[in-house]
Chains A and B, each alone.
Chain A
Amino acid sequence: MKSLSKDRLWAIAVLTPSIILIGIFVYYFIGRTIYVSLTDWGNDPAQALALNPIIRWVGLQNYTELFTGFLQGRFRQELVNTLFFTVFFIVGCLGVGLGLALILDRNPKGEGLWRTIFLFPMSLSFIVTGTIWRWMLQPQGGVNQAPTLLGGQPSSFAWLSSNDSVLKFDWNNLPLITAAVVGAVLIVVAVRAAREGQRTRTLVAAACAALLILWAVFIGPRVRLLAAPELHGFNFAMIGIIIAAVWQMSGYTMALYLAGLRGIPEELREAAKVDGAQDAQMYRFVIFPLLSPITLSAMIILGHISLKIFDLVYAMAGPDNIAASVPALNMYLTSFRQNQFALGAAIGTILLILVAFVIVPYLANQFKTEEGHS
């Protein structure tokens, strides 16, 4: 161990305030939130803002309420909205970002200007972006009027107020769907492990998959979360929000990909050319594989942004548009408009768990490779 010189003690002393602040504001507050989520604080409106509210421990009741309670259908629709939003948002940003980066990589004239144009939405706040796009997506306005500029008929798509949806499923089937998805993933893991000759992993994965499938066949169909069927799907009201989000964030993936493309040594491209690779082959076999770590990185960053997104939705759809809402917005409204703190804390905790699934492996991986280097 390195000796603790005076200077190193100073280093620790300098870091201490930050460590304490992060300890309180991140870890202690998270602990508090989880604790609050297990109480009934605010479930009785009369007690919510009392000076010394009577707070009782209720265990997981708030979570049960959110996933199965009659009144919390909004939250369940929001979870589904977030899922679809995340998928389309990431796909959109990656597609547009990669496309722009590939074009800019051809070194057009005025590259700086093009880059500036594609990146400027990043400097705006989601509130500004949301305000602008809300205006553009008015029922008889901007985007819907665009066809008339070319002599066509105005479109009548209900951008932010549509109640139509596709890919609907009954919430009651959620355990079944989850079991099927997890089971399928486990089967893939088992097959892979078998191919790599890892016996233990093959057996464990296969056994878990078998258990899940047995459960799904015999017990799952009889599990009913709700008394009545409750359909959720991809609401068309989310489409406009997804477009605005891609408009704002795709410049970010472009910047990431461009940095990656510029980091690929020219010799590699030339070697591929010498070997007789066509342009398409060079991208397929040389460039894209080298960009895959960037894709993963971007997916994680965009994924955690999309799980947290709240202000864009607030500015575009408003607080009361259930068809186009997300849990992060619901948490704010539940806690600070309705003063149902425990329920809000439960939503906050669920968000944290979702984000942690994405971020913790990522951070762990980043630091493992970094320590490997040094």
Chain B
Amino acid sequence: MTAVPQSTVSAAQARRAGGIGRAVTYLLLVVAAFFFLIPIYLVFATALKTPDSIVLATAWHWPAQLNWASFSEAWDKVGGNMLNSLFLAVTATILSALLGSLNGYALSKWRFRGANTLFALMLFGMFIPYQAVLIPLFQFIKALGLYGSIWGLILAHVVYGIPITTLIFRNFYADVPDALVEAATIDGAGFWEIYARVIFPISIPGFVVVIIWQFTQVWNEFLFAATLTNTGSQPVTYALSQLAGGQAVSWNLPMAGAILAALPTLLVYIVLGRYFVRGLLAGSVKG
């Protein structure tokens, strides 16, 4: 895992450009930030308008009167799906994190012959297009009697989450000195005792990264959501796509729905952004 090391103060000063260079730097930053934030402005401007004041020609204008009703109306349509997503994401994330932690511990601290090959084979599962497993997955979930239930979706997310969660924990535990494990072995501790007394207590940063990563992934996922669930168990991504896909709906509703659907992951990102970035960088498989 690649962390983002903060450069030292002297290095920072050395690279601070003076005068004009500095002004150009800030100008570029403002222009770029503008590009990234415009959609947010438009989403809020639209969500807060009344349906009849949404005219394409005045799409950019901030509403004269704020109309918060769109949010409660959107909640009526996607609120149940939000709760589905919440249950799905929390359950799948906890299971994924526990599984990943044990796998990462076993792979990094109890290396055996062929462990690397095994891990590479596991990791391949992270990159496959899920379209290449979707039909058998659908049949399998159906055969288990889990089609249309949120548990089928949880199963899929936990299984296809194994590669990334194992990867993140494996890299995290690789930084834990082997001497710690060896010392515990000499004291007579075994596989499980070492996990419970030595490894697990120092795993919190690893858990934070994995939990944020998996929560975001599961919450945002769409393909499994559209294939394995039916009315009643559909998560919010699917509900939002239905809400926005309809032609007759006025745009304040899908915009309010998009804000609702984005809020949980956005909050996680804003509060715990540092760990989010670490998960992100781990996804690029640096050993």
- Point out residues on A near B: beta carbons under 8 Å: 1-2, 4, 6-8, 10-12, 14-15, 17-19, 21-22, 24-26, 28-30, 32-33, 36, 96, 99-100, 103, 105-108, 114-128, 130-136, 138-142, 145-146, 148-149, 154, 247, 251-252, 255-256, 258-259, 262-263, 266, 269-270, 297-298, 301, 304, 307-308, 310-311, 314-315, 318, 327-328, 331-332, 335-336, 341, 344-345, 347-349, 351-352, 355, 359-360, 362-364, 366-367, 369-371, 373
- Point out residues on B near A: beta carbons under 8 Å: 2-8, 10-12, 14-17, 21, 25-26, 28-29, 32-33, 35-39, 42-43, 46, 56-57, 59-60, 99, 102-103, 105-107, 109-113, 116-125, 127-138, 140, 156, 159-160, 162-163, 166, 185, 190-192, 216, 219-223, 226-227, 237, 240-241, 244-245, 251, 254-255, 257-258, 261-262, 265-266, 268-270, 273, 276-277, 280-281, 283-287
Q: Which of A103, A118, A135, A139 contacts B36 (CB 8 A)?
A: A118
**Residues in chain B near residue A134, CB distance under 8 A:** 244
Q: Which of B7, B109, B138, B268 contacts A262 (CB 8 A)?
A: B7
Docked-complex contact A123 and B39, CB < 8 angstroms:
no
Q: Which of A18, A128, A255, A315 contacts B262 (CB 8 A)?
A: A128
Docked-complex contact B266 and A18, CB < 8 angstroms:
no
Docked-complex contact A107 and B39, CB < 8 angstroms:
no
Q: Given the complex of chains A and B, what is the CA–CA distance between A359 and B283 in angstroms?
A: 13
Q: Given the complex of chains A and B, what is the CA–CA distance between A127 and B241 in angstroms?
A: 7
**Residues in chain A near residue B10, CB distance under 8 A:** 266
Q: Given the complex of chains A and B, what is the CA–CA distance between A258 and B6 in angstroms?
A: 10
| Given known A-B contacts A107-B16, A125-B221, A145-B59, A328 and B131 have beta carbons under 8 A apart | yes
**Residues in chain B near residue A136, CB distance under 8 A:** 38-39, 42
Can you pick out 12 interface pairs between chain A and chain B where the beta carbons lie within 8 Å of each other? Answer: A8-B110, A25-B137, A29-B132, A29-B136, A123-B269, A125-B219, A128-B258, A266-B14, A308-B129, A335-B135, A347-B131, A348-B135
Q: Shortest Cβ distance from B226 into chain A, in angstroms?
A: 7
Q: Given the complex of chains A and B, what is the CA–CA distance between A140 and B54 in angstroms?
A: 12
Closest A residue to B194 using CB positions = A7
**Residues in chain A near residue B2, CB distance under 8 A:** 259, 263
Q: Which of A15, A252, A311 contacts B280 (CB 8 A)?
A: A252
Docked-complex contact A125 and B222, CB < 8 angstroms:
yes
Q: Given the complex of chains A and B, what is the CA–CA distance between A136 and B270 in angstroms?
A: 24
**Residues in chain B near residue A105, CB distance under 8 A:** 15
| Given known A-B contacts A311-B237, A363-B120, A142 and B59 have beta carbons under 8 A apart | yes
Docked-complex contact A30 and B29, CB < 8 angstroms:
no
Q: Shortest Cβ distance from B265 into chain A, in angstroms?
A: 5
Q: Which of A128, A139, A142 contacts B261 (CB 8 A)?
A: A128
**Residues in chain B near residue A99, CB distance under 8 A:** 28, 32
Closest A residue to B125 using CB positions = A26
Q: Shortest Cβ distance from B220 into chain A, in angstroms?
A: 3
The prevalent SS among residues of B at the interface is helix
Docked-complex contact A8 and B112, CB < 8 angstroms:
yes
**Residues in chain A near residue B43, CB distance under 8 A:** 132, 135
Q: Given the complex of chains A and B, what is the CA–CA distance between A351 and B227 in angstroms?
A: 18
Q: Given the complex of chains A and B, what is the CA–CA distance between A4 and B111 in angstroms?
A: 10
Q: Shortest Cβ distance from B245 into chain A, in angstroms?
A: 6
**Residues in chain A near residue B120, CB distance under 8 A:** 363-364, 366-367
Docked-complex contact B134 and A335, CB < 8 angstroms:
yes
Q: Shortest Cβ distance from A346 into chain B, in angstroms?
A: 11
Q: Which of A252, A344, A352 contacts B129 (CB 8 A)?
A: A352
Docked-complex contact A131 and B254, CB < 8 angstroms:
yes
**Residues in chain A near residue B99, CB distance under 8 A:** 17-18
Closest B residue to A297 using CB positions = B284
**Residues in chain B near residue A15, CB distance under 8 A:** 103, 106-107, 118
Docked-complex contact B56 and A145, CB < 8 angstroms:
yes
**Residues in chain A near residue B118, CB distance under 8 A:** 15, 19
Docked-complex contact B129 and A351, CB < 8 angstroms:
yes
**Residues in chain A near residue B273, CB distance under 8 A:** 115-116, 119
Q: Given the complex of chains A and B, what is the CA–CA distance between A210 and B118 in angstroms?
A: 41
9 closest A-B pairs by CB: A125-B220, A11-B110, A370-B287, A123-B269, A10-B191, A352-B132, A11-B106, A29-B133, A32-B136
Q: Given the complex of chains A and B, what is the CA–CA distance between A366 and B159 in angstroms?
A: 23
| Given known A-B contacts A125-B237, A140-B56, A304-B127, A25 and B4 have beta carbons under 8 A apart | no
Docked-complex contact A135 and B103, CB < 8 angstroms:
no
Instruction: List 17 additional A-B contacts (Cβ < 8 Å) besides A11-B112, A125-B220.
Output: A7-B185, A15-B103, A18-B122, A22-B159, A26-B128, A30-B133, A32-B135, A33-B136, A107-B15, A122-B269, A123-B268, A124-B265, A128-B237, A145-B56, A270-B14, A297-B284, A366-B287
Q: Which of B29, B134, B262 contacts A348 (CB 8 A)?
A: B134
| Given known A-B contacts A103-B25, A103-B29, A120-B36, A125 and B261 have beta carbons under 8 A apart | yes
Which of B8, B36, B103, B134 has most A Cβ within 10 Å?
A: B36
Which of A107, A307, A332, A344 has most B Cβ within 10 Å?
A: A107
Q: Given the complex of chains A and B, what is the CA–CA distance between A370 and B174 in angstroms?
A: 12
Q: Given the complex of chains A and B, what is the CA–CA distance between A370 and B170 in angstroms?
A: 13
**Residues in chain B near residue A301, CB distance under 8 A:** 283-284
| Given known A-B contacts A106-B25, A266-B14, A14 and B103 have beta carbons under 8 A apart | yes
Q: Shortest Cβ distance from B85 into chain A, in angstroms?
A: 10
Which of B4, B14, B38, B131 has most A Cβ within 10 Å?
A: B131
Q: Given the complex of chains A and B, what is the CA–CA distance between A135 and B130 in angstroms?
A: 28
